[in-house]
A = this chain, B = another copy of it.
C-alpha cells in the first residue's frame, strides 16, 4: 500500500513529517510517497536505515501553501503545491491515501477538487475520535463546514456510522444528535429538523445527547454542525491545557503537591493527547472520494505516524466503498 504524505505541511515541516514517515515505514507494512521539495527532504532521509529508506519515495513538488493563505486562491495559483501533487497521486491511483498537516482549508479544497465528492454527499465532514470512559467515539463535523442543513447532518450521520463500524470496529453503532436537551422537542431549528430525518434513516439513532454525555460513551457517533463541533473540540483542548497548567502551578507550592501533580499528570496528559486530534492520529475527511486524513498543524513525528496508521486502516477496511454502498446516490430518493 502506498500513502502520499505532504512533507511540507504543518508547523514542524519538513523535519517532523519526514521523521514520522521513517517511523511509520519501520513499523508498518506501507510505502510512503513523500511529497515536497527534494532538496529539503533528501537530507532528512539520511537517518533512515536502508531497509526503511527503500520504502520511502520522494515525489517532487516545488510549492507550499501556507497556513494563512486563502485556500481557493492558493490552489488556483500554486499548481505545484505539495498538497495538490499529493492529492493528484491519489487521484491517479499512484497512492491509495493522502495525509497532510498543512492548511486544513487547502487540504479540503484540494481533496474536493482532486478526488471529488462521493455521489449523494453534498458536503464533507471532518470526523474526530473523542476519548470517553467507554473508549473512542466519533464526533463529526468538527469544522469542515461553518454552516449546515439538516440533510448535511443526516449525511454526516450515515458516513459516521459506516466509519465507526468499518474502521473503529463498533458493530451496529449508536448514532446521536448533539443537542441542549434529551427531549425530541429541544434545540434549534437545525437539530429539530434533523431529528425527524435521523429517526427515519437506516441508522441506529438513539436520539439526542447533551454536552455532558459525550465523555460517558452513551453514543458511538455524535453528529453536530461544524461550528458547534469545532468550538467544543477546541474548548476541550483549552480546558485540558488550563488544568495541566493549574496542576503544574501546584508544583510550586509544596513537595506533597509536587508529588501529587506528578502522579496525576499521566491521566491528564492521556486525555489531552486524545482530545488533540493530531495526536490521536489525524481526522478523516469523510465524504470525498478517497482517503484523506487531516492532521493538526502542530503535528510532530508521532502524530504523523499515527495518521499514517489511520490512513492504512481506512484503505484496508475500504470505508470509501462502504460509504458508497450505504448512501443513496444522486438519482436515488433520500
Contact = CB atoms under 8 A, between A and B. Distances in A.
Interface string A249-285: 0100000110111111001101100000000000000
Most interface-central of A133, A260, A261 (chain B CB within 10 A): A260
A237 interface: yes
Interface stretch (A50-58, A167-175, A211-219, A323-331): A211-219
A39 interface: no
Contacts of A267: 243, 246-247, 250
A113 interface: no
Interface in A122-179: 132-133, 143, 146-147, 178-179
A233 B211 contact: yes
B260 A133 contact: no
Contact of A260 (B214, B231, B245, B259): B259
Contacts of A213: 238
A189 B148 CA distance: 11
A245 B256 CA distance: 22
Contacts of A109: none
Contact of A238 (B186, B215, B224, B250): B215
Interface string A174-214: 00001110000011110100000000000000000011111
B215 A234 contact: no
Contacts of A211: 230-238
Given A227-B188, A234-B210, A237-B212, A245 B178 contact: no
A241 interface: yes
Given A238-B213, A261-B263, A231 B143 contact: no
A243 B131 CA distance: 11
A195 to B, nearest CB: 13
A146 B241 CA distance: 29
